[in-house]
Amino acid sequence: MNESMIVPNFVHQLLSTTTEDTAQLANKLCSLLSLPVLITDSYYQILSSSYPPGVPVLTTILAIQPLDLIESVTAFSCQITTTMSDEYGLVSPITQGNSTLGYLFILPSKKEKPETYSSILEFAASLASIQLHRKLEKRQEKMKFKEPFLFDLLYGNLKQPEDIYEYGSVWNWDFHLPHTVLVFSLTDFNPILTGKQMINHLLYIVERTLIDGRIKPITLKRKSQVIVIFPLEDDQQKNHRAAIEGFSTSIINQMKSLHPDQALSCGIGKTYTSPVDLFRSFQEAKVALELGELMGMMIPFFSDLGLERILYKHDLQDLKEFYEATLGELLLYDETNNAQLMETLEGLAANQFDMTATSKALFLHRNTLRYRLKKIEEILNVKLDDLNIKLNITAALKIKQLRKM
């Protein structure tokens, strides 16, 4: 047994990148094969890539379609759908135990068989697994301190701004800037049926969207919710609300596209300059979330909720009594006579008690509308042009909407 065991040269070269990140591995593999190399996470988001000179760069992978699956070979060929075109590729999963951490792609200029590159792909994928697992462990180690810090911040347990600045600097978060708290919540979320995958995917989408917008993610996952602390950059003073609204809309649309059967709600608190006040923004965001769900608002800002938030915090029994005293007779008339005068009154209030706008909105002739409003005045023994009556009716209808009466 004097035969020498020769280790291929590519093994030495790829092993030299083990202590580096995935970018160095992609560069080395690209150099060895003279082919484009991409390393992605488990959602096909590109983490690292390297291309020979003159080869167009792929920025986004939308999906992959496996073409040839060979039982004895983990690498397989696939069609890669991008924002620009469809590409042919060879891919090897990057695994750690039973978990898939990502994928390693190469893009041959012609349709090569997976077996041609299977050995080097699988070996490179095993090295990428070490690097991604190490990165995951570092992230988890940081998370041990990150979650308690954010919990204390959002629940008002940190009283000194200097302490918050110091803790935030560990993750390169600048709490000298004003911030706004946003809460995203999976509606009717059942972790027993769906497991943690859904909420983890929501967290991933939130963080990826922030990174794409060049914002360092400050996020916290709590049961069915993902909480975001959104910074107000110096150059965003005038467009801060639009930036938050655009970000929130993007998250909702992405989740709707990927999980059409799972409803997602959000709520947005007010912006505060001092980090010790962020617990207020968090509480406001939760109120906005709940009111938004009740009122069917897609992007509810706490600052936009006036009468609604006052009524929401008020004693329920008092609200019921006010509602009954203001509109009880009309409700009884509708039930007894199978009428729809309450619907007419709701339309009038929704159109600021404007006859013309209401008749158009309800598709009613003005004379028909006038007759119905006269009947409402008789039943309630009020004058609908009285300002105090208008305020009482508006408040009562808000109570009806908020408390599902």
> Whole-model pTM above 0.85?
no
Q: Do 166 and 280 reside in the same domain of the chain?
A: yes
Q: Which residues of 232-259 are buried (b: 16+ CB within 10 A; e: fewer)?
A: beeebeeebbebbeebbeebbebbeeeb
d(CA 374, CA 384): 9
pLDDT of residue 405: 61
Q: Which residue has the tokens 């291309």?
A: 51
pLDDT of residue 1: 45
Does 27 reside within a domain? yes
CATH number at residue 394: 1.10.10.2840
Contact 194, 243 (CB under 8 A): no
Q: Please identify, among 241, 271, 299, the residue that sits at the C-terminal boundary of a domain.
A: 299
Does 141 reside within a domain? no
Q: Do 291 and 320 reside in the same domain of the chain?
A: no
Residues in the chain: 405
Does 147 reside within a domain? no
pLDDT of residue 73: 67
Starting at the edge strand that comes first in sequence, how are the strands of the sheet with 37-41 ordered? Answer: 46-50, 37-41, 99-106, 86-96, 76-82, 61-68
- Our separate counts of H helices and E strands in the chain read 14, 10
Q: Do 197 and 116 reside in the same domain of the chain?
A: no
Contact 354, 308 (CB under 8 A): no
Does 307 reside within a domain? no
Q: Do 60 and 90 reside in the same domain of the chain?
A: yes
d(CA 228, CA 182): 5
Does 89 reside within a domain? yes
pLDDT of residue 93: 94
Does 2 reside within a domain? no
Q: Do 266 and 184 reside in the same domain of the chain?
A: yes
Q: State the residue range of the domain holding 291.
A: 155-299
pLDDT of residue 272: 96
Q: Do 281 and 342 reside in the same domain of the chain?
A: no
Nearest to 224 by CA among 193, 253, 245, 246: 193
Q: Which helix (H) or strand (E) holds 265?
A: strand 264-272
Segments of the chain with pLDDT less than 50: 1
Q: What is the DSSP string of 353-404?
A: T-HHHHHHHTT--HHHHHHHHHHHHHHHT--TT-HHHHHHHHHHHHHHHHTT
Does 142 reside within a domain? no
Q: Please identify, among 101, 133, 165, the residue that sits at the C-terminal boundary of a domain.
A: 133
CATH number at residue 60: 3.30.450.40
Does 139 reside within a domain? no
CATH number at residue 256: 3.30.70.270
Count up the domains in the chain and report the number.
3
Contact 222, 200 (CB under 8 A): no
Q: Please identify, among 133, 164, 194, the residue that sits at the C-terminal boundary of a domain.
A: 133
d(CA 398, CA 405): 10
d(CA 245, CA 230): 11
pLDDT of residue 335: 94
